[in-house]
Amino acid sequence: MKITVVRDRLAATSLLGRLLTDGEFFCYTLERRPDAAEAPSIPAGSYALTVEPTHNGRLWTPRPDRRLPRLHGVPGRSGILFHAGNTSADTVGCVVLGYDVGADSVGRSRPALAALMARLEAAEGPHRAVVVDPPSVRIV
C-alpha cells in the first residue's frame, strides 16, 4: 500500500495535511510545526513503512500487541510513528491522524488510526509512505 501525506497549511502550533491511501483521501494529519525546537520535521520524500510494536507506553494503539505504523529511512531521525492525538502537544516528531480537522487540531483520531492499521494489515506489503510539500506551503 502507498500512503501519501500531503502537507497543506501551517497553523499556529502545527503543520496540517491530508493522508491518502493508494491515491484516495483517507484522513487528516497533524505534525508539529517544522520550526519547533524539539524535533525537526520529516523531510519530503519516500520512506519504507511497517507496522510494528512500539515501546512507548503513553501512545494509544488499537492492538493488544501495541503495534503502530512506523517510518524507516528518514534522514537524521528514527522512531517516527503514525499515532493518535489531537494537537501538537500530543507529538514531538510523529504524524497524528484524525477524521476531523480544526484550525490547529485533528479530531476522531483513534478511529482514524484503527482504520488505517486495519487497511495496512489487510494489504500486501511492502508499504511506502511519501511525504509531499506542495509549493504553496513553505517548510523550513
Q: What's the pLDDT at 34?
A: 80
pLDDT tens digits for range 4-33: 999 999 899 999 999 999 999 999 999 998
pLDDT confidence of residue 57: 87
77 vs 135: which has the higher pLDDT: 77
The 10s digit of each residue's pLDDT in 78-90 is 899 999 999 999 9
Q: How far apart are CA 38 and CA 31, in angstroms?
A: 12
Averaged pLDDT of the chain: 91
Categorize the per-residue pLDDT at 140 as very low, low, confident or very high, splitting at 50, 70 and 90. Answer: very low
Q: Please provide residue 84's backbone torsions phi and psi, each rounded to the nearest 5 degrees.
A: -85, 155
> Domain residue spans in the chain?
2-132
Instruction: Record the pTM.
Output: 0.92
Is the distance from CB of 121 to CB of 43 less than 8 angstroms? no
Within 10 angstroms of residue 48's Cβ, the number of other Cβ atoms is 14
Nearest to 68 by CA among 45, 44, 49, 91: 49
Residue 3: what residue type?
A: I
User: Three-state SS for 65?
Assistant: coil
CA distance 29 to 98: 6
Q: Give the amino acid at 137.
A: V
User: How is domain 2-132 classified at the CATH fold level?
Assistant: L,D-transpeptidase catalytic domain-like (2.40.440)
- Nearest-angstrom CA–CA distance, 140 and 42: 11
In tens, the pLDDT along 34-66 reads: 876 566 689 999 999 999 999 888 999 999 999
Strand partners, 21: 3, 24
Neighbour tally for 86: CB within 10 Å: 19
